[in-house]
Structure 1
């Protein structure tokens, strides 16, 4: 019993020292490396006493600490010159007291994670301030719109199935919208952080995260003039398409993780071909540089509603095709859907595989057909919007990928799966 108490107080002391070290390094006048450990251990002692005398002990401890903070600030106000008034250290002190009290009855792992996160958050003051200074009105609107999409609209949608074939679930449909918009927003803010002059490889990666189709259109158009070399444009377009391939696998991993052992290997085989081609193209690039084109806000409500409608239509189309044409009908839906949006057919197919309405061997083939259809569509866009040089490079690269993808579709063994899944199931 005593050993457990000493361990508890030791963890409390360590968390206080961690946060106190950061505050001392930041030259906080209110509390530093000695005061924060005392505050945290004080919270733990109050939590221990409260086990016998009730929660009012913790409440009084918190009130006492708040009183000390107020008195300390009042005394500092009398100092000359006047100090900058801030609440960071005061709030951290109250939180560390509460965290010390939580340790008595709560999870030590959670307490350590929270304490360490607070220390890191305090340490990143300058970095966070610089980041906020770079956020403009457009970026703030993107954040607020994503909050509306994920925390306002999603919770109020009914979690029930409606419509033909009983497959439309508003909550699940919008959950996929949140997933796709979240991925796009991640790429958008990465673009904002690294800037337009992010380099060829990073430009392609960010373009793939935000929208590989939009990136293809933008770079293909730029080759009509002389702003961007054909090789540079081909590299960025190709990398963006490769990242969209990774994006597809990520979506399967999120929606249908139990299928990865069967679905991931054939998709990874095609991606490996893309990777080899991309590396080869990169080494034969010229040394010209170009700024990445400006990216639009992926969290616009209109964009979210459009994707939600597309996803719902794909769900209905897959249910209809499966009912009337069997599994073979899904390939038609994959080809048509893949021309404009691979995400929708990927998520829809993943859902079918999860509920057992589609065999895994057919599922990954439907997804791969959609990806190959999208690649062919983007090659056509380059042919229409770009110059002959960039189209020649893209046609050759995408042509090799299409051939490789078709070979995987025809010759990949149906019973192949990752050995890791066998160990996990066993």
Structure 2
């Protein structure tokens, strides 16, 4: 037999207050612990319950009383030791959580209460992260906010241009997606820095830029065979991450294409990971040269990608219209030389619009991948030592042959 609804609300409020109070008491807060937070949350719940159908005045009165108590308590605590305002703010929030439970938004109250507890507990990790953030990093975060929260909402959401495939908001949404992925890799690189091992270097390199990673690690000295194997592993693992990135981009734009492409592209991903791990064996925890990477949220590169994406989208639509699949494959081969993002996103969007068949689209993306392998292989041959060229070249050849076999023999 469950308790009456009004008591259920009080129990939930009490539990949430005790959860947050537990964290505060564990962190040795001088102002409030388990009992105080439990009472504050109950106070909010009771104020909402006894206030009748219009409890606003009583809720406001309780909130003012709580603020007065907090001011008094804060003055007394500060006489003996300095403290921040986190506990006081948390108490006000938990009072409102108690109110929210009674009003009927129990799910919201539970989420907010748990979030408060997590935020309070994450003080030291947050401090550690912030201590590593430099001016350029903060600029990158703020510029991403401009790109995603200011520019994107004001762009018109309508198609225009030849073939009616260009849409300013959709194009910029793709920019936000790519810059977001790049920013995640950049953040990982900045936080983990030079202490990353070979495996992590490959993963971050693939998120940032597999081409830049290949160029950086191709300069490994030939006199060190262990570092040569490690460099090959980084290049191959970065290439494997490209396939993960491609699947994420496809899934973000077209679920239809993802359902068709996940199996063949997933096989290439598994093969690339396997080749990378084979090369990784016996290298230990090597540290390689840093991948040169600047702020990924700068407006100029974002505008360049928007123009490139729009151009590829238009070229793909025109090629499909004039030449069918063969024309699309040609565009994919050219655009994939240095970048996989534009062709992946453009073909995904056209599949979602019903202009390109999913089987044709994923084959075009794989062709772009072959082109990208050839380009990166050329970088290794021209800049790398002979041993590295053999290792990477052989692995890239295996991936390219596997890609061709999938294109030809995979069921349409």
Match of 1:311 in 2: 309
Match of 2:96 in 1: 98
Q: How much does 1:261 deviate?
A: 2.2
The answer (yes or no) to whether the contact 1:231–1:286 under 8 Å persists in 2 is no
- Give matches, 1:158-173, under 5 Å: 158-173=156-171
Match of 2:272 in 1: 274
The answer (yes or no) to whether the contact 1:256–1:351 under 8 Å persists in 2 is yes
Residues 413, 107 of structure 1: alpha-carbon distance in 2 compared, 3 angstrom cutoff: farther
Aligned residues: 411
The answer (yes or no) to whether the contact 2:308–2:342 under 8 Å persists in 1 is yes
Match of 2:30 in 1: 29
Q: How much does 1:247 deviate?
A: 0.6
Aligned pair 1:257/2:255, yes or no? Answer: yes
Q: How much does 1:289 deviate?
A: 4.0
Aligned pair 1:10/2:11, yes or no? Answer: yes
Please, which runs of 5 or more residues in structure 2 have no aligned partner?
A: none
TM-score (normalised: structure 2):
0.94
- Give matches, 1:141-220, under 5 Å: 141-220=139-218
The answer (yes or no) to whether the contact 1:208–1:240 under 8 Å persists in 2 is yes
Aligned partners of 2:18, 2:405: CA distance in 1, in Å? Answer: 60
Residues 287, 11 of structure 1: alpha-carbon distance in 2 compared, 3 angstrom cutoff: closer
The answer (yes or no) to whether the contact 1:239–1:278 under 8 Å persists in 2 is yes
Task: Give the match's secondary structure for 1:177.
Answer: helix
TM-score (normalised: structure 1):
0.91
Aligned partners of 1:366, 1:247: CA distance in 2, in Å? Answer: 16
Q: Deviations over 1:60-89 (max 9, x none)?
A: 222221111112223334x3x4x2141100
The answer (yes or no) to whether the contact 1:353–1:360 under 8 Å persists in 2 is yes
Aligned pair 1:334/2:332, yes or no? Answer: yes
Q: Deviations over 1:327-375 (max 9, x none)?
A: 3321111111111210111111111111221111112111111122111
Match of 2:67 in 1: 66
CA RMSD of aligned residues (A): 2.0
Aligned partners of 1:5, 1:176: CA distance in 2, in Å? Answer: 48
Aligned partners of 1:333, 1:92: CA distance in 2, in Å? Answer: 56
Match of 2:50 in 1: 49
The answer (yes or no) to whether the contact 2:197–2:285 under 8 Å persists in 1 is no
Alignment match of 1:132 (pick from 88, 107, 130) = 130
The answer (yes or no) to whether the contact 1:42–1:100 under 8 Å persists in 2 is yes
Match of 1:232 in 2: 230
Aligned partners of 1:287, 1:25: CA distance in 2, in Å? Answer: 37
Aligned partners of 1:225, 1:165: CA distance in 2, in Å? Answer: 55
Aligned partners of 1:106, 1:254: CA distance in 2, in Å? Answer: 34
The answer (yes or no) to whether the contact 2:216–2:290 under 8 Å persists in 1 is no
The answer (yes or no) to whether the contact 1:197–1:291 under 8 Å persists in 2 is no
Q: How much does 1:377 deviate?
A: 1.2
Residues 173, 228 of structure 1: alpha-carbon distance in 2 compared, 3 angstrom cutoff: farther
Please, which runs of 5 or more residues in structure 1 have no aligned partner?
A: 415-426
Task: Give the match's secondary structure for 2:355.
Answer: coil
Match of 2:389 in 1: 391
Match of 2:365 in 1: 367
Aligned partners of 2:85, 2:50: CA distance in 1, in Å? Answer: 29
Aligned partners of 1:208, 1:251: CA distance in 2, in Å? Answer: 14
Alignment match of 2:120 (pick from 116, 119, 122) = 122
Q: How much does 1:228 deviate?
A: 8.5
Residues 399, 137 of structure 1: alpha-carbon distance in 2 compared, 3 angstrom cutoff: same
Q: Deviations over 1:12-52 (max 9, x none)?
A: 11111110001111111111110111111211222233452
Match of 2:239 in 1: 241
